[in-house]
A = this chain, B = another copy of it.
Amino acid sequence: MTIACRPARREDVAAIVRLLADDGLGAEREVVSDPPGEGYLAAFDEIAANPRALLAVAEDAAGRIVGTLQLTFIAGLSNHGAELALVSAVRIDSSLRGQGLGEQMMAWAMDEARARGCASMELLSHASREAAHRFYERLGFAKSHVGMKRTLD
């Protein structure tokens, strides 16, 4: 199955939220509706206006949104000022997994990051997502770091 990846448009937001919710860990925190809630649209507008963010979708041949991911480009002082790309919120339609869509989407994301001159790409993946870790290892990522989180109240 071949997909086309491109930056997300505002009319994709409902489909993206559906993908975020279509997931063991995200199901309880997202609110799926069409049209999407104002919070999601406001977040989309902020991401779209940010030159260092790229929210992307993957479309199938019929124009249906079947995947999403987000890139954040971070200019650090380290490594002589090289930018790195953080990839997050990677989701594939659960009915279409195992068909190479994730590989195609991540290959596109890595090409986008290279085109900007990014020296590296990184991500946090929940410790319980062992299939995802193997997927990223096949794509050349190493589990070299721990990913730590806390809520802020």
Given contacts A40-B77, A43-B81, A79-B29, contact A149 B124 (CB under 8 A): no
**B122, A148: Cβ atoms closer than 8 Å:** yes
**A120, B75: Cβ atoms closer than 8 Å:** no
- Size range of the chain A interface in the assembly: 35 or more
Assembly stoichiometry (copies): 2
**B125, A146: Cβ atoms closer than 8 Å:** yes
Least Cβ–Cβ distance between A18 and chain B, in angstroms: 11
- Residues of B near A24 (CB, < 8 A) are none
Which residues in chain A, 28-51, are within 8 Å of chain B measured between CB atoms?
29-31, 37, 39-40, 42-44, 46-47, 50
- Residues of B near A53 (CB, < 8 A) are 74-75
Which residues in chain A, 106-153, are within 8 Å of chain B measured between CB atoms?
110, 113-114, 118-127, 133, 136-137, 139-153
- Residues of B near A85 (CB, < 8 A) are 152
Closest 3 CB pairs of A and B: A145-B147, A43-B81, A141-B148
**A124, B127: Cβ atoms closer than 8 Å:** no
**B122, A152: Cβ atoms closer than 8 Å:** no
Given contacts A46-B75, A81-B39, A86-B86, contact A139 B144 (CB under 8 A): no
Select one of B89, B110, B126 contacting A78, CB under 8 A. B89
The residue among A76, A126, A142, A152 with the most chain B CB atoms within 10 A of its own CB is: A152
Closest to A122 in B: B149
